């Protein structure tokens, strides 16, 4: 059973470009979480999605950021018109159910975004 996969592992974008980060959850997992780790800072929650639904987006910046988890295919975190402050490591995690039901979250290897 492959773990959580993220691609690309490293992404370089110039200011103003779009960044698309992909997350394929573990087989059988229908819940995906995105977290951001800014340089020299701790991890912060961004968004929680279930297939075709956004459950909690309280950690998402109000502008330029969006996330989706379609019925088929990976979850996508999209950042439009990137700025230098978006440079960070973006991690996704997946679980088979709501973690309030004591399911554990399994983390992917992360995508390191560098904005030049």
Partner 1 sequence: KNEVEQSPQNLTAQEGEFITINCSYSVGISALHWLQQHPGGGIVSLFMLSSGKKKHGRLIATINIQEKHSSLHITASHPRDSAVYICAVRSYNTDKLIFGTGTRLQVFP
Determine the Cα–Cα distance for residues 102 and 26; give it in Å rounded to an integer. Answer: 17
Q: How far is CA 101 from the centre of its chain?
A: 22
The size of the chain, in residues, is 116
Residue 53 as a binder of partner 1 (CB under 8 A): the answer is no
Report the residue number, 66 or 109, with the smaller CB distance to partner 1: 109
How many chain residues are in contact with partner 1, going by CB under 8 A? 25
Alpha-carbon distances of 9 from 30, 81, 84, 96, 104, rounded to whole Å: 22, 20, 18, 24, 23
Site map 9..48 versus partner 1, x via CB under 8 A: ----------------------x-x-x-----xxxxx--x
Which stretches of the chain bind partner 1, using CB under 8 A?
A: 31, 33, 35, 41-45, 48, 55-56, 58-59, 91, 98-100, 102, 104-110
């Amino acid at each position: 059973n492959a773990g959580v996969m993220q691609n690309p592992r490293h992404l370089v974008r110039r200011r103003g470009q779009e960044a698309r980060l992909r997350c394929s959850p573990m087989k059988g997992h229908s819940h995906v979480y995105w977290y951001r780790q800014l340089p020299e800072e701790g991890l912060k929650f961004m968004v929680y999605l279930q297939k075709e639904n956004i459950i909690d987006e309280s950690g998402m910046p109000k502008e330029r950021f969006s996330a989706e988890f379609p019925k088929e295919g990976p979850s996508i975190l999209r950042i439009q018109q990137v700025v230098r402050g978006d440079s960070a490591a973006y991690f996704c995690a997946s679980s088979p159910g709501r973690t309030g039901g004591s399911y554990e979250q399994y983390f992917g290897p992360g995508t390191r975004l560098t904005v030049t």
